[in-house]
Structure 1
Amino acid sequence: MKRRVSILVACVLFILTITTSSFAASSISKDMTVEYSGGKKTVKTVWIDLNDPTIRLDIVCANNKVGTTDSLKDIANLAKDDQTKVLAAINGTYFNAYSDMQPSGTLISEGEVLHVTNSGTVFGIDGGNDFSIVPLSIKIEGSINDSWVWPNNWYAWNINQIFTESSSSVIFTPEYGTKTPVHKMTSIVVDNHIVTKISSGQVNIPSEGFVLVTGDNSQISKFQVGYSADYKITYNENDYDGATTDQPLSWNNIRSGVGAGPLLLKDSKIAVNAKKEGFTEEKITVSKATRSFIGITNKNQLVIGVVDGVTVNEMAEIAKKLGLTDAMCLDGGASSGLLYNDTYLYKPGRDLSNAVVITQLKNAPVRLQLNGKEIYFDKDPYIEASSNRTLVPMRKIFETLGASVSWASDSTITAVKGDITIKLKVDSDIATVNGVEYKLECPAVLRKGRTFVPLRFITEQFGGNVEMKDGIIRLNIY
């Protein structure tokens, strides 16, 4: 997904003036004066080097909840901890600023889809800091007892979005809060992949699960307490004409993403078509307004910025003059805000629903390769301190090793590859391989909404080996 296109910026048309400059590792802020067809504009920008593996782009919701608001600075600081420094932040997607504060665009955070809107344009960034901008369509599909086909499959309209239609089906995750909205439909509670409760009205959302709220009786009848249940996201290209194309997108490794728009640039060419993307308000399609944007250069430099008083077409022209190859608008107007090193370069005129936050890890993340090819995860593998063993997200590592995985009603994880069957339980240090018990140096654990499993044990049982070389954990499968 890295951009390899060379571009030539005509110096006659591009005047660059750095009026202020602040430095941090792999990032810099610049005030840039750009000549365009409407005159000159000063653009507040922050540039981030995505070639640095310690850089992370995070999507953060106000108060860590979908549907609330807070200041840009306070949202950004939610991404800070003793291992992570916040470098910069910019406002994210549109939201209902004058009513229920619900987001109006797609949100993907730490590999989890928090909200879906199949219109506009979406940017995504994966575990290797490869950045892409696409017209994205998301489909939410569910399973019962590990079956994804009729009559055990189900679907959802959206995630963490309030609907009042009796036929709706919506998933609510812990990112929405501790409880679902108040409603009169059926709530199906899934905790650690197991259906634990089916009742009407508002219920608690399990911290390691989700709730399906639906009034569709054909879906409700498929669930029973004790059944296993799960859902998955399918990514496809959106043709902007109300239909999903048959072109799948390889977005399963995407860590973070935001849907907003309109699209500004694609492959170094101006590509504005706001109405086709579904935008109808003149303040977005034709009027001059404050615009915020995000884009990428052909050297994998991420650029975020804000400019006052331009149309979307003028914004595209300016983005091209900045040397971007692909770019899109984020929410604008009073929501426009830019933060760098905890200082506002452009202060929003209101509290925000969500933000794009650029962070830097104090230590480089764990790197893995399979037979010489880098493996990227939507959530970082980590080293468990007491055992010094590497734990990795379960589903991704099993898929990478060519194994199928399923859950049983007693929370047993079963992975099968050929004639080898491995069974583990979360928080248990006992595993079985083809019925033979093994004691693990560290158990499988639930962490940040993912099940993590011990890498070496899994790999070796499936006939491979693990070695550390040049700071990279190398898996070899023969």
Structure 2
Amino acid sequence: MKKIIITALFVLLISFNLHTPNTYANSYGVVEDGSNRTLVPLRMIAETFSVAVDWDNASKVVTIDNKYKLTLGSKAIKSAGQVIRQMDTQPKMLQSTVYVPVREVAFLFDAPMNWDQAKKEVSYQVGATTYKVSVYPEQVMSKPKVTVTKKTVNAGGKKLAMNVVSVNLLAPNTSLHVELANDKLGSVGSLATIAKKHNAQVAINGNYFDAYSNSSYRTVYNGLVMNGERVKVFDPKFSVFYVLKDGNVSILPGEQFMKLFAEGNVQEAIQVGPRLITNGSVTVDPIAEGFSSHKILSSPGARSAIGILPNRQLIFVTTSGATVQQLASAMKQLGAVDAMNSDGGASSGLYANGKYITPPGRDIAVGLLVK
């Protein structure tokens, strides 16, 4: 009987969430500052159980089965007014999500749990099923969703003024989307209009397209995935920035990406290139990716880039008067461990918090948006 009660306690604690924010943001654990204890989000494993819970917002108390209570800011777990367990840390709220100390919950639930230091991952077992949870530092989880800065970077002997928009992909209700101008392939429109139409907080220009004709249909070059559906075919050589259905992001060559896409886990993708950084090292090789234009091989110009930082952090960057090689050096200095060049020249544009950070010199066909 005690084991059944404690199981219910664990289930209800982990399934509770205040504002039911974006699923991505509730799929991670956190390493608490100071105590170095690992806490897991409540909603994350709610799908593995079916339980009811009452939340008193005034007292910050969860009541389970009308008997068992856990209070935010307290180290005690109570039953019938009596403390049944003292924890060595306490539940807390981060970004409108309640987190519970995993070691204490494991003790109560008698659930096998393990910590993988190399992968920064907690695993726990329910019945015959093992669940794995990525864990991130509390200070990273607590960062703002969007931060806009200006930085100067010395790259290849040249000082580059960089507009940088940092995005915390761990923040609640944060998601990435590929959108077309006027929601129509082959159409063009302003980056700001695309962003505003889709209620995006951040937007950067995406794929190369036919920018110089007067045709009513402007060809978009290379691959696109929107909402899990392939909209344009992928070139085997060009680099692809993609978003998985669990919110993780990465960059792959087209050929490798197509194999990944066939597995059915890709949510969004744009194919531009060339790739700038791979696993922390500058790896610019535009000829190998099929580029032949001097605009990519050697000439300076306006540039846009997407960079992936550790702990699910992302940067969108624009600069002017930079070669692709200089852009790669700058992205590395900004902390990117993976990065890709996006369309440049007059197409280069960056939008954040309702205004242009870098206004494009022309209408564009594709935008990568943060909502």
What is the TM-score normalised by the length of structure 2? 0.59
- Preserved contact between residue 234 and residue 258 of structure 2 (Cα < 8 Å): no
1:235 to 220, 242, 258: 258
For 1:103 and 1:311, how far apart are their aligned partners in 2?
A: 23
- Preserved contact between residue 5 and residue 325 of structure 1 (Cα < 8 Å): no
Q: Does 1:109 align with 2:233?
A: no
Aligned-pair identity (%): 33
Q: How does 1:397-436 map onto structure 2 within 5 Å?
A: none
Deviation at 1:25, TM superposition (A): 4.4
Q: Does 1:358 align with 2:370?
A: yes
**Structure 1 residue runs of 4 or more that deviate by more than 4 Å after TM superposition:** 248-251
5+ residue gaps, structure 1, are 7-23, 81-85, 139-233, 237-247, 360-478
Deviation at 1:295, TM superposition (A): 1.1
**Alignment RMSD, CA only?**
2.2
Q: Does 1:136 align with 2:257?
A: no
Q: How does 1:84-95 map onto structure 2 within 5 Å?
A: 86-95=200-209
For 2:344 and 2:207, how far apart are their aligned partners in 1?
A: 9
- Preserved contact between residue 165 and residue 315 of structure 2 (Cα < 8 Å): yes
Q: Does 1:306 align with 2:329?
A: no
Match of residue 351 from structure 2: 339
Match of residue 8 from structure 2: none
Deviation at 1:37, TM superposition (A): 2.4
For 1:75 and 1:282, how far apart are their aligned partners in 2?
A: 30
- Preserved contact between residue 349 and residue 360 of structure 2 (Cα < 8 Å): yes
Q: Does 1:272 align with 2:284?
A: yes
5+ residue gaps, structure 2, are 1-27, 29-117, 121-142
Deviation at 1:35, TM superposition (A): 1.9
Match of residue 96 from structure 1: 210
Question: Aligned in 2, Cα 1:33/1:59: closer, same or farther, shift over 3 Å?
Answer: same
- Preserved contact between residue 155 and residue 327 of structure 2 (Cα < 8 Å): no
For 2:194 and 2:254, how far apart are their aligned partners in 1?
A: 26
After superposition, give the CA deviation of every residue in 1:297-352 in whole Å (9 maximum; x if it has no partner).
11211100101111111110000000000000010000000001110010000000
Deviation at 1:54, TM superposition (A): 1.4
Letter in 1 for 2:253: P
- Preserved contact between residue 235 and residue 251 of structure 1 (Cα < 8 Å): no
Letter in 2 for 1:235: M
After superposition, give the CA deviation of every residue in 1:397-450 in whole Å (9 maximum; x if it has no partner).
xxxxxxxxxxxxxxxxxxxxxxxxxxxxxxxxxxxxxxxxxxxxxxxxxxxxxx
For 1:355 and 1:69, how far apart are their aligned partners in 2?
A: 10
Deviation at 1:250, TM superposition (A): 6.9
Match of residue 34 from structure 1: 153
Report SS of the residue matched to 2:364: coil
- Preserved contact between residue 195 and residue 201 of structure 2 (Cα < 8 Å): no
For 1:25 and 1:313, how far apart are their aligned partners in 2?
A: 31
Deviation at 1:251, TM superposition (A): 5.3
After superposition, give the CA deviation of every residue in 1:145-193 in whole Å (9 maximum; x if it has no partner).
xxxxxxxxxxxxxxxxxxxxxxxxxxxxxxxxxxxxxxxxxxxxxxxxx
For 2:202 and 2:261, how far apart are their aligned partners in 1?
A: 29
- Preserved contact between residue 121 and residue 261 of structure 1 (Cα < 8 Å): yes
- Preserved contact between residue 71 and residue 350 of structure 1 (Cα < 8 Å): yes
Question: Aligned in 2, Cα 1:29/1:284: closer, same or farther, shift over 3 Å?
Answer: same
For 1:114 and 1:249, how far apart are their aligned partners in 2?
A: 12
Letter in 1 for 2:341: C
Report SS of the residue matched to 1:235: helix
Q: Does 1:78 align with 2:231?
A: no
Letter in 1 for 2:195: A
Match of residue 330 from structure 2: 318
Deviation at 1:87, TM superposition (A): 1.1
Q: Does 1:54 align with 2:54?
A: no
Report SS of the residue matched to 2:296: helix
Specify which structure has the higher proportion of helix: 2
Question: Aligned in 2, Cα 1:75/1:126: closer, same or farther, shift over 3 Å?
Answer: same
For 2:221 and 2:119, how far apart are their aligned partners in 1?
A: 32
Match of residue 327 from structure 1: 339
Match of residue 293 from structure 1: 305
Deviation at 1:112, TM superposition (A): 1.1
Report SS of the residue matched to 2:201: strand
For 1:117 and 1:352, how far apart are their aligned partners in 2?
A: 20
For 1:126 and 1:339, how far apart are their aligned partners in 2?
A: 23
Aligned residues: 229
